[in-house]
Structure 1
Amino acid sequence: MSRLGIQFCWELAFGVLAALAFVPRAPVGTLFYRIMGSAALVLLLSGLGLALDAGRDWTEPGCLAAIAACAAFPLYSGPMRGATWGIALAIGVAGSALATTFELHHWMQDAGAVQIGLASLSALATGAVAGSVGLAMVLGHWYLTVPNLGIEHLQRLNRVTIASMCSSLVLVSLLCALHASELDAKATPLFGPWGLFHLGTRMAVGLVLPLVFAWMAASSMRYRNTRSATGILYASTVLVLIGTAAALSLQDSYGLPL
């Protein structure tokens, strides 16, 4: 389970940092970026700690990528903006993405480059869903303290959550289609009653319902009702985290980031 913990931490850190890239000029003050950057840092360090505790060497590619993402923290979480902030954030995003990809390689050591690439995209999409929805929910709370904050920042982030969810749906479906025979040969076939129950829970609770909630939040935002939108995003965050947990459980059973 420690391997799943490592992957969860790093893919969620990727999601938070990637979502942060879509609010580069929002006048929310340094505190917002400090909080979200710190959340990503805690996840990166937690994954690194789990990796070292599992006997990994810090010079392994995944650990080095996570360390690089951590090293950029002072720049992407502080008051600095512009090109320097963008470069630091890009290092954080790339580092967490590479760390997740290298960690997946431990799960799929016999897989080819295309298979690992597709699996990595699926894992990163799962992280992007959780990270973007969570960050959107936090940003929604900022409208309580910055009443004149433009609604376009939250609308943009909500569109990012929708794109992430749609991407995740497509990638999970592709993985299921490409590995259908392998998944059905497991002790509990994925396309049997119990397998479909767990896969359906992951898809419905973690992706489909949050998509509906994102549409509801978008409707609220059209009327500049940020309080309702934030409440909807809060509920969506809970659903997405349940879906992420279900995805990790499926990976533990079937060896793929579904």
Structure 2
Amino acid sequence: MFLFLVHLGVGISLVLVWVGREAGVKFFRFNAGTAVLLIAIGFALRPQPDNPTSLYRAAIGSLVLAEAALVVYWATIGRMLARIRPALLWSAVGFGLISVTLQALDISRDAPGLMPLLTVASFLSSVALLGGACGAMVLGHWYLVVPSLDVRHLQSIVRLHIGSTLVRVLVVATAVMIAVVSWEPGVPNFERYIFSIDGIFFWQRVAFGLAGPAVLSYMTWETAK
């Protein structure tokens, strides 16, 4: 739950960089507030290992900085500090992405070969995918509030969502390929696993984590183009 909430919160803040000011103060305030709340809840639910690594401590520290910048950004939207708000938003996004990257490196620190790099790609694409999906949904409904809003804003978020979905597909395909190629006798066969009753969890991830977002991207793009 910690990773999901943090990735979603950072992803929403990332989407705010894509959207122009024409969306209005309330749009930015709503989404920034949502991101602040998600990251705060995720932080409260963070794992607390007995012997945290330096990577873990750095990840949590970066997350705190991202949250602090995002709180100030949210609190000043439409009120004050207009000149530095872009810097605050970029700082929140930057520290958030650094935190996510460090989380991935910490989790995969004992993994062999290219697995740490693959984990980083998985985490970053998760941020973009979750943020893109949530941002596209909110912005799509925001056209009811601001009918004159240029459709190019929605198109840009859909492009982000499509790109992140493609990266997720590539990451999962690479992980599957590594699992198949690195199989050794005495170790459970991956091919047998995915076609067994336990493989339902793998197919759930494919259906809801890859196929679902891909269909959503196509439908949204057809609507927005």
TM superposition score normalised by structure 2: 0.81
Q: Deviations over 1:35-87 (max 9, x none)?
A: 11112112222222223766687991111011110111145432379873333
1:78-97 map, 5 Å: 78-79=77-78, 84-97=84-97
Q: Deviations over 1:153-189 (max 9, x none)?
A: 1111111111111111111111222243369935986
Hey, what does 2:16 align to over in structure 1? 20
Residue 139 of structure 1 deviates from its aligned partner by: 0.9
Hey, what does 1:40 align to over in structure 2? 35
**Identity rate, percent:** 25
Q: Does residue 1:221 correspond to 2:190, yes or no? A: no
CA distance in structure 2 between the aligned counterparts of 1:113 and 1:51, rounded to whole angstroms? 27
Larger radius of gyration: 2
Hey, what does 2:102 align to over in structure 1? 102
CA distance in structure 2 between the aligned counterparts of 1:39 and 1:55, rounded to whole angstroms? 31
Q: For structure 1, list consecutive stretches of 5 or more residues without a partner in the other structure.
A: 223-258
* Equivalent residues of 1:6, 1:103 under 8 A apart: no
Q: Does residue 1:60 correspond to 2:46, yes or no? A: no
Match of 2:201 among 198, 215, 227: 198
1:3-18 map, 5 Å: 5-18=1-14
Residue 104 of structure 1 deviates from its aligned partner by: 3.1
Q: Which runs of 4+ in 1 moved over 4 A?
A: 52-59, 80-83, 186-190
Residue 144 of structure 1 deviates from its aligned partner by: 0.9
* Equivalent residues of 2:136, 2:158 under 8 A apart: yes
* Equivalent residues of 1:28, 1:149 under 8 A apart: yes
* Equivalent residues of 1:7, 1:104 under 8 A apart: no
CA distance in structure 1 between the aligned counterparts of 2:160 and 2:69, rounded to whole angstroms? 23
* Equivalent residues of 2:183, 2:189 under 8 A apart: no
Q: For structure 2, list consecutive stretches of 5 or more residues without a partner in the other structure.
A: none
Hey, what does 1:211 align to over in structure 2? 214
SS of alignment partner, residue 148 of structure 2: coil
Q: Deviations over 1:222-258 (max 9, x none)?
A: 3xxxxxxxxxxxxxxxxxxxxxxxxxxxxxxxxxxxx
1:71-220 map, 5 Å: 71-77=68-74, 78-79=77-78, 84-111=84-111, 114-180=114-180, 181=182, 185=187, 190-220=193-223
CA distance in structure 2 between the aligned counterparts of 1:174 and 1:60, rounded to whole angstroms? 29
CA distance in structure 1 between the aligned counterparts of 2:171 and 2:140, rounded to whole angstroms? 28
Q: What is the alpha-carbon root mean square deviation over aligned residues?
A: 3.0
SS of alignment partner, residue 84 of structure 2: helix
Residue 18 of structure 1 deviates from its aligned partner by: 1.7
SS of alignment partner, residue 22 of structure 2: coil
TM superposition score normalised by structure 1: 0.72
CA distance in structure 2 between the aligned counterparts of 1:51 and 1:119, rounded to whole angstroms? 19
Residue 190 of structure 1 deviates from its aligned partner by: 4.5
CA distance in structure 1 between the aligned counterparts of 2:194 and 2:130, rounded to whole angstroms? 26
Query: Greater CA deviation, 139-148 or 8-17?
Result: 8-17
- When residues 145 and 92 of structure 1 are mapped into structure 2, their CA distance, relative to the original with a 3 A threshold, is same
